Amino acid sequence: MTATFECKGLSKNFGSTQALEDVSFSIAPGRVVGLLGPNGSGKTTLIKLANGLLTPSEGELLICGGKPGEESKAAVSYLPDKTCMPLWMNPKQLMDFFQDFYQDFDRQRAEDMLRRLGLDEKQRLRQMSKGTREKVQLIMVMSRKAKLYLLDEPIGGVDPATRDYILDTIIRNYDPEASVVISTHLISDVEKILDEVLFINRGRIMLQASVDDIRQQYGKSVDEYFREVFKC
């Protein structure tokens, strides 16, 4: 089986600052992976590289076996760490937009999720609160049947109820052929839904291990183990 997301000796520098250094790992289909690291550790840079928004300085990055490009973009569903949907649009217009560009967009699923959260299809994003916008954005991203979901801080700025809803959505949409990468520093919240974790610090991968292996080996949760590893 081809890895959905693979890096081989990947490095990225911005001028003299090294954002990623010799990163190598591979994620198999069906895995839910936590990309965990302190702020500024290179999580977002890695995700941007996978989306073709940045170009590697060295090494290689493969999405479903191919370099980032038009083909990979059709297979990747990306949730950026900020609102990127045009604010003048309403959810209905957004669904039209996604339906036009992504063949794997499931409009029915999006409409169901909007209804379940009690969101108005006709309300412009501009008139919504920041949290509501994030929900709409997540619904669009999760309504695709992609091969790789890259979720950058999906639970960063939302209330606990929404956080639960987001995690439920990820579990409910689980597809054994697709992988999910969740970047976050709120580990205890996502730990239960992860298969594996990637610890990243200062642009380097420190560890790739399964959640239950960490618990078995160290007798503590990934959250506790993370705190120990990254103690200031």
Partner 1 sequence: MDWTFNNDMPIYSQLVDKIKLSIVSGQLPPGEKLNTVRELAAEARVNPNTMQRAFQELEREGLVFSQRSSGRYVTEDMEVIMEAKEAMAQKYIRDFMDSMEKLGYTGEEIISLVRGGKEEDKK
Partner 2 sequence: MLGKLIKHEFKGSGRSMVPFILVCLGLSVLAGLSIRGMENLQDYGWFTVLFGIVIFLFVAGLIAVCVMALVVCIERFRKNLLGDEGYLMFTLPVSVDEHIFSKLIVSSVWFVATWLVCMLAFVLMFLCNVDLIEVNWSEFGYVMSEVWGRLVDFGLVHIIGYILELLVLIFAACCVTCMQFYSAMAIGYSFSNHKLLLSVVFFFVINVALSILQPLLLALTGNAGLLDFMANSAQNISGPAAVHLVMLGAFLYALVFFVILYIPTRLLLKYRLNLP
Binding site for partner 1 (CB under 8 A): 30-32, 164, 167-168, 171-172, 174, 192-195, 211-213, 215-216, 219-221, 223-224
Nearer to partner 2 (CB atom), residue 18 or residue 221: 18
Q: Count Cα neighbours of 192 within 13 Å in the Cβ-side half-sphere.
A: 6
Q: Give the angle 94-101-171 at the CA atoms, nearest 5°.
A: 70
* Binders of partner 2 in range 65-84 (CB under 8 A): 70-71, 73-74, 76, 78, 80, 82-84
Q: Which two tokens stand for residue 149?
A: 């979901």
Nearer to partner 1 (CB atom), residue 89 or residue 167: 167
Which residues fall within 8 angstroms of residue 59, CB to CB, at 6 or more apart?
7, 8, 9, 10, 11, 22, 23, 24
How near is the Cβ of 97 to partner 2 at its closest, in Å? 6
Closest CA to 89 of 132, 119, 124: 124
* Residue 194 to residue 210: CA distance in whole angstroms: 8
How near is the Cβ of 88 to partner 2 at its closest, in Å? 6
The only residue of 65, 86, 131, 157 in contact with partner 2, by rule CB under 8 A: 86
Closest CA to 72 of 94, 46, 53: 53
Cβ atoms of 62 and 226 within 8 Å: the answer is no
Which residues fall within 8 angstroms of residue 65, CB to CB, at 6 or more apart?
2, 3, 6
How near is the Cβ of 138 to partner 1 at its closest, in Å? 17
When CB distances are held under 5 to 8 angstroms depending on the partner's kind, the choice from partner 1, partner 2, none that residue 224 binds is partner 1
When CB distances are held under 5 to 8 angstroms depending on the partner's kind, the choice from partner 2, partner 1, none that residue 220 binds is partner 1
**Residue that the structure tokens 């996978």 belong to:** 50
How near is the Cβ of 130 to partner 2 at its closest, in Å? 13
The footprint of partner 2 (CB under 8 A) covers 14, 48, 51-55, 70-71, 73-74, 76, 78, 80, 82-86, 88, 93, 97, 100-102
